[in-house]
Amino acid sequence: MKKKDTLSETMNALRNEGYVDDLNVLDDQIENKTKKKKYPIDDFEVDHYFRFEGVSNPADNSILYAITTSDGHKGMLVDGYGKSGGQISDKMLNKLQIK
């Protein structure tokens, strides 16, 4: 999928491709808030990622991940990049690292 101009436009396009679940990072797993399930690092794949840089404020930088879980659920995870205040494991950082 091609990145759109804004985070919200890209999210809408991903929803149209079936990425409808709301995902969050929890230390060394992701949580599917929609399905109320948690997945360890080996139970999901990052299908796409998109970087967005804030035009007026560098603190508005974010990454949108399109993720598929081992049981076939598709969702999106939005995270800031740069210096993050959240605590996640090194293994999770490596999984989500932009290559």
CA atoms of 95 and 79, how far apart (whole Å)? 14
In this prediction the pTM is 0.84
Q: What is the pLDDT, as a whole number, of residue 88?
A: 73
Query: In which domain, by residue range, is 52 found?
Result: 7-83
Is 93 part of a structural domain of the chain? no
Is 90 part of a structural domain of the chain? no
Q: What is the pLDDT, as a whole number, of residue 58?
A: 57
Return the structure tokens found at 17. 């491709």
Is 97 part of a structural domain of the chain? no
Instruction: Give me the tens of pLDDT residue by residue for the chain, a chain 99 residues long.
Output: 777 788 899 999 999 999 999 999 988 899 999 899 999 999 999 999 998 876 655 556 888 999 999 999 999 999 876 544 456 778 887 888 755
Count: domains in the chain: 1
